[in-house]
Chains A and B, each alone.
Chain A
């Protein structure tokens, strides 16, 4: 065996230990899943396994799950779980652990120099362990994101396009990733068309599964575009649409949706040379601005941050963002308890904690943009600038 193979073997040994430890942690977490099953921070109408179960129960009793506006998942998920529960009902926890570990493995293959950082950030993140134990639907979503990023990195434009279209059919917001396709396809537009085609194909499958009717569109897409479901979650939008006056509701829903979909354009204009940075920024945008997020949506974005190794020295908020994230995540259950259970606080407490969490993520996005611009300057004019120069903005 050559020296290089020996190093690989040692690394692999350590790696196997880490994987098995992750699997053990998740299995233990399944015993405590009742602690997390009803938590609002880990559940939202689009990612809750209980919601999916309700839909399957309705289907089994012969009722249409889409007759009200309460069931927000597309027929693909509904029928997938229906068949899974019919044939292999006991294997669901195993399936979820498998998906999570696959995500972690894919992440470990992605990064360049430090192989294990993304893997560690994802596999041992308590949020992802807890979400796995409650069979949250963010686990399959994270697997999908990891696969997309891997294919993206390896320039498989068709795979990326199809997966983006497929993912967007569940929640509309990943359509923003189409802006990233420009980097992959050598500036050809056909990849964009492929993504949109995949989106419509997935919807067609939904249509067929839903007994040839479009009734699911109201419950899945209209709920996202109109922000109709105002139940508490860790997003920015729910309390806003609880409080806004009826008169202005249409104005704000359209303003928010249009703002979101337009944000891809300036982002693409800024980040022109680094495709991974672009992808991660858009992923963070999707996570922060999706109306019904959970805490687990952000774990994979944070896990992917070590990929941006070369920007390490330029980050401005290295202390602020992580500490805010940790503090608010710790405070959220406390504030929720004060509002809902003991009534010694009101909704503003919980809202404050979630708002600060989202603002920390927004600061992270801000920082990514700054870091990219700052490094561009160094790359282009590295020698001619003094070390401690102050930076401002100018038009030329």
Chain B
């Protein structure tokens, strides 16, 4: 039945769907699972039937002229020492968006991107509206395809470090898959996938002239909570669900574990495997990066990025986003043991835009490079603070694009939390009154002396002035009494309303 179905689709735009799950033991008690689901579709004009490729992504591509879109949400920290190289595309805590798209002009590109981000919010249940996107980074951030197109391609990249990812994002990612109730996606147990040491879920959308492709990926590193020496992982117990039905429309549906590939495309019985492979020991040392923060007060601080190289000579392209609430002291940026071949800086006149510092560093094997960036912390307008202002704001992780002889990949450092100077949030009216009083103090005498003459005044009675002051004094005492007795103004109002109603009734 599915075969007839497939034959039928050959007359229309050719679509393909594949799914893959890779299970690796990264240490004695930790297991890495990589889910990858992909769909591709031929680009035929006026062809509006969608079988396996999600229609909503095609609409996104069409509406916003997207060439390459990458959205990654992450949670937790990847342990380079124990687990080896980070699975690509790598995630850092928060959400990252990288987009290449076509537009007419810079302003048109910004507007289009705003709409694209809101559309992504609707598709993925994220809250990315506040993400600050950097325009056209000069150095590389993620590996991306080359384009051959006439219209101008605009690049945007941004990280939102305080974005959380939870099961509602997983629910939405699942809705993009053709096989939701069968095949490998049954194993996507919502609670288990978030009770992990590291979680990354991503959505990639690509388009070139011939085909559109999309990929949904979920990577998680599980920890065995009850380690018994020598015990192995069982597929059904990791995900608490059993693979019982297969995804018939997939061209490829397989599980890679125990150094072999299990084909689950034509599944008759329920399927369970035991992960018996030993953890791969990581002989080769990797490129590692980490960020730390210095400074003791809320006036300024120091950002310290350390890069440690592994065994191969590498070229690192380091990009650090500095948000608008932090101002780098550019003259005091110092490098220790770094060979910088290129520098790039991007700022913008918009108030809320971030600055991007990029460095291209050639690093030999075994060397360590340290970059120190002192910065000033800024005080912001009252409305710009998040609801919990004393929590602080994040400086995003630095993104490092590593190019070695044979391959290139992206790693991240860690985001840091800076405590900003905070004004008093309960005081807007008071401050306005005080400053306006200071202005009135200068305005008053100027107006007085320029419009009136200073002259000896005849003796006048001050009786009425004293009565005025007495009335004002009585009012102040009443207000203080009401404040001291914590009389609620709403109750006073309701009391007066009731009293007036009673009066009306009496009449």
Contacts and interface: CB of A to CB of B under 8 A. Distances in A.
* Chain A in direct contact with chain B (Cβ < 8 angstroms): yes
Interface of A: 38, 40, 50, 53-54, 56-58, 61, 63, 67-70, 218, 228, 230-232, 236-246, 256, 259, 263, 266-267, 269-270, 285, 288, 339-341, 343, 346-348, 351, 355, 358-359, 362-363, 365-366, 369-370, 373-374, 377, 385-386, 389-396
Contacts of B382: 242-243
B297 interface: yes
Given A358-B438, A377-B454, A68 B347 contact: yes
B455 A391 contact: yes
22 contacts: A38-B299, A54-B331, A58-B330, A61-B345, A70-B327, A218-B349, A232-B379, A236-B438, A239-B435, A242-B380, A270-B446, A270-B449, A346-B422, A347-B424, A348-B427, A355-B438, A362-B442, A369-B446, A369-B449, A370-B454, A391-B457, A393-B455
Given A242-B431, A393-B454, 15 more contacts: A58-B345, A68-B348, A68-B349, A70-B347, A230-B379, A230-B380, A238-B379, A246-B383, A256-B439, A266-B450, A346-B422, A346-B424, A347-B421, A385-B456, A392-B456
Nearest to B347: A68
B400 interface: no
B464 interface: no
Interface string B374-413: 0000111111000000000000000000000000000000
Contact of A67 (B347, B423, B442, B452): B347
Cβ-closest 6 pairs across A and B: A392-B457, A68-B347, A266-B450, A57-B331, A389-B456, A393-B452
A333 to B, nearest CB: 12
B445 A394 contact: no
Interface string B257-277: 000000000000000000000
Contact of B330 (A57, A236, A270, A341): A57
Nearest to B346: A67
B343 A362 contact: no
B47 interface: no
B64 to A, nearest CB: 27
Interface in B423-441: 423-424, 427-428, 431-432, 434-435, 438-439, 441
A63 B356 CA distance: 13
B431 A362 contact: no
A63 B348 CA distance: 13
A347 B446 contact: no
Nearest to A336: B299
A243 B297 contact: no
A56 B331 contact: yes
B165 interface: no
Contacts of B503: none
Given A53-B331, A259-B443, A243 B431 contact: yes
Contacts of A239: 423, 431, 435
Contact of B351 (A228, A238, A358): A228
A161 B382 CA distance: 42
A374 B424 contact: no
B438 A243 contact: no
Interface in B115-136: none
B380 to A, nearest CB: 8
Nearest to B353: A68
A206 to B, nearest CB: 18
B8 to A, nearest CB: 57
A347 B422 contact: yes
B439 A259 contact: yes
A365 B442 contact: yes
A340 B421 contact: yes
